[in-house]
């Protein structure tokens, strides 16, 4: 909830905090700052995953939440875009809470139920995705955008405290004469990548996430181009009336009502993702256990490709929100299906590392996607930013990933998972 309080409007914060008015420059900084954390997390993730298999998953989850709390709390003090970029990169290196959390909740569950078990954790994450954008919109209106970072910091610290108090785990047994951490990690990574299906799965997950996340940091800017719908303008007026804040300026196109309506529309665009995840994530988990996660991933990618292509030609915010809802139905299953596909093919003793590799691929797509989207949006536009052509490029990537998933199902692999290390 904390992360989703500030991430949806991070591009607007960059524009306002650093006074960037040039559209191409704003697209560059918004994309690179947004993607810095997941990109650096993709690099550091396997290290934390291997360490989690060695010392325990619970300490890794606590460490990640504390890292988010500290780094996010310092971000409002960044005086330049470069400093904010560096802070986001450090946050990514030290964070990475999803993989140890997934491994922690699935450790005691039978393999045939991993899809639904992992889906339940994603539902919990979806609750944060639902509440976070709305919390961010309200906090920003009354306290300013800088306050969003401090809200995130407090909530992340509370999450770390709850993990410390309530999470339970059987720590790995310490073996005498155990190999060094670096040697053991290298051997474990090579062992996992020797599984052809698992190795290609990582590639296809990266492609899917590249397409899925190319436009995420630019959604606020795209919605600003479309403008807030009339019904959201009316809702904003009611909110301001309840706060006894209506005056003559609220009725002007550029007044407080229009600004709040835009904020609420952006919040809705991101909040939709969480609401839909609450409904569809368990459904995707059950489908994964019934039909297989690879088949489901292929179907998901095909549908998402069509939806993104249709988004490229929307004419209003209402049309965008409808397609955003449809895309959310598909995106709700991407993480669950990816982890479920990996979980069925690795041993318990390698699960945190395997999940970290999957998470690194998703983070790589999360981090590089905005960079690619920002570049595609300015190709051949003579100084303008065209996010619609970026939507089309994202659709092509999702289509390629979908076809790859269907092809991967035909690859024969041993049924049993890799042997658990001594």
**Confidence tier at 19 by pLDDT (50, 70, 90):** very high
31-54 pLDDT, tens digit per residue, is: 889 888 888 888 888 888 778 777
Query: Would you state the pLDDT for residue 303?
Result: 96
Residue 362 lies in a domain: yes
Structural domain that includes position 370: 3-165+181-408
Residue 111 lies in a domain: yes
104-158 pLDDT, tens digit per residue, is: 777 777 766 767 777 777 778 878 877 888 888 888 888 888 999 999 999 999 9
Half-sphere CA count of 395, side-chain side, radius 13 A: 17
Half-sphere CA count of 161, side-chain side, radius 13 A: 7
Total structural domains in the chain?
1
Residue 414 lies in a domain: no
Residue 415 lies in a domain: no
CA 2 to mean position of chain CA atoms: 13
Query: Would you state the pLDDT for residue 174?
Result: 58
Q: Is the pLDDT of residue 348 over 80?
A: no
Q: Is residue 76 a contact partner of residue 10, using CB atoms and an 8 Å limit?
A: no
DSSP labels, 176-221? TTPPPHHHHHHHHHHHHHTSHHHHHHHHHHHHHHHHHHSSGGGHHH
Predicted TM-score (pTM) of this structure: 0.70
Residue 255 lies in a domain: yes
Q: What are phi and psi of 161, to 5 degrees?
A: -65, -45
Closest CA to 46 of 295, 347, 364: 364
Mean pLDDT computed over every residue of the chain? 83
Query: Would you state the pLDDT for residue 313?
Result: 95
Query: Would you state the pLDDT for residue 245?
Result: 43
Residue 396 lies in a domain: yes
Structure-model confidence comparison of residues 243 and 118, the more confident one: 118
Residue 176 lies in a domain: no
Query: Would you state the pLDDT for residue 247?
Result: 45
380-421 pLDDT, tens digit per residue, is: 777 688 999 999 999 999 999 999 999 988 776 544 444 444
User: What average pLDDT does the segment 217-224 reach?
Assistant: 87
Closest CA to 348 of 19, 170, 107, 49: 107
Q: What is the largest CA-CA distance in the chain?
A: 76
Closest CA to 110 of 421, 419, 391, 417: 417
Residue 171 lies in a domain: no
| CATH code of the domain in which 277 resides | 1.20.1250.20
Structure-model confidence comparison of residues 350 and 392, the more confident one: 392
| Residue 147 token pair | 């306050």
Closest CA to 102 of 113, 86, 118: 118
């Amino acid at each position: 909830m904390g992360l989703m309080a500030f991430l949806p409007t991070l591009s607007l914060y960059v524009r306002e905090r650093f006074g960037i008015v040039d559209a191409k420059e704003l697209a560059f900084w918004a994309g690179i700052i947004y993607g810095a954390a997941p990109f650096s997390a993709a690099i550091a993730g396997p290290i934390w995953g291997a360490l989690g298999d060695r010392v325990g998953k619970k300490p890794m989850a606590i460490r990640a939440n504390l890292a988010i709390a500290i780094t996010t709390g310092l971000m409002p003090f960044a005086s330049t875009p470069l400093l904010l970029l560096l802070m986001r990169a450090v946050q990514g290196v030290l964070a990475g809470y999803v993989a140890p959390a997934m491994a922690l909740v699935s450790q005691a569950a039978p393999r045939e139920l991993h899809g639904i078990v992992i889906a339940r954790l994603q539902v919990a994450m979806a609750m944060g995705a639902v509440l976070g954008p709305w919390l961010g919109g309200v906090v920003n209106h009354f306290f300013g955008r800088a306050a969003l970072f401090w809200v995130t910091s407090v909530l992340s610290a509370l999450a770390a405290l709850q993990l410390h108090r309530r999470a339970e785990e059987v720590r790995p047994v310490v073996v005498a004469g155990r190999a060094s951490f670096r040697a053991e990690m290298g051997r474990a990574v090579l062992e996992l990548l020797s599984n052809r299906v698992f190795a290609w799965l990582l590639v296809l997950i990266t492609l899917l996430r590249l397409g899925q996340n190319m436009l995420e940091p630019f959604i606020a800017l795209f919605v600003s181009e479309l403008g807030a719908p009339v019904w959201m303008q009316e809702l904003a007026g009611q909110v301001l009336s309840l706060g006894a804040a209506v005056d003559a300026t609220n009725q002007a196109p550029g007044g407080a009502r229009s600004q709040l309506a835009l904020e609420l529309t952006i919040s809705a665009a991101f909040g939709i993702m969480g609401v839909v995840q609450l409904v569809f994530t368990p459904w995707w988990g059950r489908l994964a256990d019934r039909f297989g996660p690879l088949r489901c991933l292929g179907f998901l990618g095909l549908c998402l490709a069509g939806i993104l292509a249709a988004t490229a030609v929307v004419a209003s915010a209402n049309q965008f929100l409808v397609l955003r809802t449809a895309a959310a139905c598909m995106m709700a299953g991407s993480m669950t299906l990816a982890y479920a596909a990996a979980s069925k093919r690795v041993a318990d003793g390698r699960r945190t590392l395997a999940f970290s590799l999957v998470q690194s691929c998703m983070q790589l797509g999360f981090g590089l996607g905005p960079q690619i989207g920002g570049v595609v949006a300015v190709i051949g536009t003579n100084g303008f930013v065209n996010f619609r052509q970026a939507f089309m490029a994202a659709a092509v990537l999702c289509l390629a990933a979908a076809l790859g998933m269907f092809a991967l199902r035909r690859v024969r692999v041993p049924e049993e998972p890799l042997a658990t290390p001594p």
